[in-house]
Amino acid sequence: MKKVVTFGEIMLRLSTPGYARFIQADQFNATYGGGEANVAISLAQFGIPSEHVTRFPDNDLGKAASGLLRRYGVQTGHILYGGERLGIYFLETGAISRPSKVIYDRANSAFAGLQPGMLNWEEILKDAGWFHWTGITPAISDGAAKSCLDAIQTANKLGIPVSADTNYRKNLWQYGKTAREVMPELVEGCDLIVCSKGDAADMFGIEPRREDGSGFTSVCKQLQKQFPRIKKIVNTKRESFSASHNSLTGVMWNGEEMLKTPVHQITPIVDRIGGGDAFMAGLIYGLFTYKNDQKALDFAVAASALKHSVEGDANLISADEVEPVMQGDSSGRLVR
């Protein structure tokens, strides 16, 4: 099986122990995470060869982050080293009616200093079977956006499927360009995207039209008209009853019909960071494995639901553990 290549920033994650508040913390638990890297790690647990491409500072933190990827089976042969620093994010885990909080400290990171031409995408993608990126990457800097475009265009030229989680983060777009200026050219090269109604409005100016059916169906039809290469559009619907109890459903427009999964009740939540990345990894695995859109979508949502039981950014769950949940067994009975 050919490898999946992901591209994006990895940060140092510093989280308060347990459910402690920032004001209470006299120590932090350290790990590393980033949306695209989370996808690569999850795929490696499913047995799919994966490689993550990024840029780290040439110091012990950069080497530690690379080591974490290798520990979980992700290839790191094309990671660049240089630049000023590793980005950081701080996490306070919420409970019951108190939401989780994240504080970012990522300005002037090594990844933000990427420039076009630093990465040889022809070499990186020559043995790839899939390329994945998210809307966070082009939001970080102009150089990161142009590097991402280079990767997408190279993948298109090589006939490699491209997926993206559009993932609009308004506060990240600070370098002088807006998402509406940058994202359309990138999404033009995608075969599959994760996109909500809100992201479609913010990034592409697309609003639901009554004559096109339900709101999300209308948005999907317009997205495919604007970006003819896109074959599938997926999204998750999360209902938050509390910080400790969510429900999750997945939907997919495959150009002909809207598919939907059963609702998964997730309670109590251990760690919801990375749930969307677990969904994306599950979808890629499902499309490779089942060759069936409904089964792939069901696997993806089950994988995302299970991620909420795992501490840290990445979904350290095997495909064998996902399949019973996919089939409706969420009992969590002791295995021995």
- By the 8 A CB rule, do 19 and 95 touch? yes
**Predicted pLDDT of residue 213:** 61
Q: Give the pLDDT of residue 332.
A: 81
The helix, strand and coil proportions of the chain, stated in percent and rounded to the nearest 5, come to: 40, 25, 40
Is the distance from CB of 147 to CB of 116 less than 8 angstroms?
yes
Q: Largest Cα–Cα distance in the chain?
A: 57
Kindly report, residue by residue over 138-152, the tens digit of the pLDDT: 999 999 999 999 999
- Report which secondary-structure segment, H or E, holds 144: helix 142-158
Give the structural domain span for 143.
Answer: 3-233
Residue 27: inside a domain, yes or no? yes
Total tally of structural domains belonging to the chain: 1
- Pairs from 26-33 (Cβ < 8 Å, separation ≥ 24): 28/90, 31/68, 31/312, 31/313, 32/64, 32/65, 32/68, 32/313, 33/273, 33/274, 33/312, 33/313, 33/314
Residue type at 163?
S
Per-residue pLDDT of the chain (336 residues; tens, 9 = 90+): 799 999 999 999 999 999 999 999 999 999 999 999 999 999 999 999 999 999 999 999 999 999 999 999 999 999 999 998 999 999 999 999 999 999 999 989 999 999 999 999 999 999 999 999 999 999 999 999 999 999 999 999 999 999 999 999 888 899 999 999 999 999 999 999 999 999 999 999 999 887 666 789 999 999 999 999 999 999 999 999 999 999 999 999 999 999 999 999 999 999 999 999 999 999 999 999 998 999 999 999 999 999 999 999 999 999 999 999 999 888 887 676
Q: Which helix (H) or strand (E) holds 236?
A: strand 232-242
Residue 130 per-residue DSSP state: E
**CA 274 – CA 295 distance, rounded (Å):** 21
Question: Is position 143 within any domain?
Answer: yes
CATH, residue 209: 3.40.1190.20
In-domain check, residue 274: no
pLDDT digits (tens, 9 = 90+) for 175-201: 999 999 999 999 999 999 999 999 999
How many CA within 13 A on the CB side of residue 331? 6
Distance of CA 187 to the CA centre of its chain: 15
In a domain, 156, yes or no: yes
User: Which pLDDT score, from 0 to 100, does residue 212 have?
Assistant: 63
CA 10 to chain centre: 12
Instruction: Judge whether 178 lies within some domain.
Output: yes
65 inside domain: yes
Is the residue at 70 inside a domain? yes
